Amino acid sequence: MTQETTMPLWKQDGAKPFIQIKNVTKKFGEFTAVDNVSLDIYENELFCLLGGSGSGKSTLLRILAGFEELTSGQVLIDGVDMANIEPWNRPINMMFQSYALFPHMTVAKNIAFGLKRDNVPKKEIAERVAEMLTMMQIEAFADRKPDQLSGGQRQRVALARSLIKRPKLLLLDEPLGALDKKLREETQFELVNIQDKLGVTFVVVTHDQEEAMTLATRIGVMGNGIITQVDEPRDVYEYPSSRFVAEFVGSINLFEGRIYEDEVEHVKIKSKEAGCNFFVNHGVSCSPNQKVTVAIRPEKMKVTRRKPEQEYNCLHGQIIDIAYMGNLSIFRVKLKSDVIVRVTLPNLVRENRNPLTWDDFVYLAWDDDSSVVLTS
């Protein structure tokens, strides 16, 4: 998308982070919403905080906006400590989940609100509002009140209002949560385009992993007030660092097992649950005989009726459920140990002469670079 194909900032050594969150803790009474979180976010990033409800992601966003006081820790934005800077003085704007459009003002006045507070000359306000209305394609609604708009239009107004002050950082709290599926997909790409065009750093909070995948340059997965993994979307999906991340992002099959051979470039794992041994082509630094979890994504498995010729990574079971989804089908396969494995297969042809069906016995196999070993 960008002209330069240099390495992203977060991969460069010594790059200066735009937002530095240092050992931030926020407690509400006894409850710890954000627990000793440290995180660097770089300029022009579209960073997604992904987590379930109560994971602390919204609290972290509100800390950046200045609505929550820190229990301990430090937040620096562009090198400036935000400790004693009130929300109205921060170079940050936020788009709220409820959009929070002022019901008693027209769309144009809503958008102009921020500029008026800064005593920008009237003429310039009018110009910038007009420009923003055009960019968001909402010129036709300039004189309407928020309650006369549809959900999608409100979302655009809210975005316009939060961008009009040209903030260095835009915080978005579930920006697409209130939109229906079709509109959400369109808006996702639009949001990325706007971010690219304006060069604003975005921090997005979402519980929707698909949204995070499409939007983000990097994803921070949050749970119980802790950021468990920060990585690019592909890495979060392919190389989850923990069981929590693996289960939260996408669906995955997990097998308990014990390592019986640990080399530099591979490990072998014995699993009673799976009824077979696993071979994973990356080393794991752990104590011998340690209990680990092997994780394999449903789409990474091959399904055959005949036993494939491989010693490792091969399960045998019976199909108990099939869900046809159009582009793919989901199979639930029950192993001898009563463990149920989820497999997805793309529907490559319209008519399959010999389709897999209920009660069929099948082999599930995968390559030794497809699975991940999780130690936590």
The number of helix segments (H) and strand segments (E) in the chain equals 8, 20
91 part of the interface to other proteins, by CB under 8 A: no
Residue 268 in the binding site for other proteins (CB under 8 A): no
Residue owning tokens 């006369």: 148
- Residues 6 or more apart whose CB falls under 8 angstroms from that of 62 comprise 68
199 is a site residue for other proteins (CB under 8 A): no
Applying CB under 8 A, among 17, 51, 56, 114 the residue interacting with other proteins is 114
Task: Read off the tokens for 54.
Answer: 């109560």
**Distance separating alpha carbons of residues 216 and 335, to the nearest angstrom:** 37
- The site that binds other proteins (CB under 8 A) totals a number of residues, namely 24
CB of 182 to other proteins, least distance (A): 26
The answer to the question of residue 113 lying near other proteins (CB under 8 A) is yes
The verdict on 10 binding other proteins (CB under 8 A) reads no
Radius of gyration (Cα) for the chain, nearest Å?
25
Query: Would you say 366 and 302 are in contact if contact means Cβ atoms under 8 Å apart?
Result: yes
Exactly one of 94, 133, 172, 245 binds other proteins (CB under 8 A); that residue is 94
Question: Least Å distance between CB 226 and other proteins?
Answer: 25
Alpha helices (H) along 19-71: 57-65
Q: Which is nearer to other proteins, 173 or 262 (CB)?
A: 173
Residue 358 interacts with other proteins (CB under 8 A): yes or no: no
Location of structure tokens 């240092």: 22
Q: Residue 178, interface with other proteins (CB under 8 A)?
A: no
Identify the residue among 84, 104, 123, 265 touching other proteins (CB under 8 A).
Answer: 104
Q: Which residues contact 39 (CB under 8 A, 6 or more apart)?
A: 19, 20, 21, 220, 227, 230
| HSE value, Cβ hemisphere, 13 Å, CA-based, for 310 | 18
CA separation for the pair 239, 237 (Å, rounded): 6
For 305, the 3-state DSSP assignment is coil
In whole angstroms, give the CA distance from residue 259 to residue 262.
7
Work out which of 4, 5, 88, 263 binds other proteins, going by CB under 8 A.
88
**CB-based contact 172:215 (threshold 8 Å):** no
Residue from the set 92, 159, 194, 222 that interacts with other proteins by CB under 8 A? 92
Q: How far is the CB of 155 from other proteins (least distance, A)?
A: 14
Applying CB under 8 A, among 58, 97, 188, 241 the residue interacting with other proteins is 97
62-81: which residues touch other proteins (CB under 8 A)?
65, 67
Residue 263 touching other proteins (CB under 8 A): no
User: Torsions phi, psi of 312, nearest 5?
Assistant: -110, 170
User: Binding to other proteins by residue 122, rule CB under 8 A?
Assistant: no
> Which residues in 143-172 contact other proteins (CB under 8 A)?
147, 161-162, 165
Residue whose CB is less far from other proteins, 38 or 89: 89
Note whether 117 binds other proteins by CB under 8 A: yes
Provide, rounded to whole angstroms, the least separation between the CB of residue 17 and other proteins. 22
What's the rounded Cα separation, in Å, for the pair 266 and 360?
Answer: 33
| Footprint of other proteins (CB under 8 A) | 65, 67, 86-89, 92-94, 96-98, 100, 102-104, 113-114, 117-118, 147, 161-162, 165
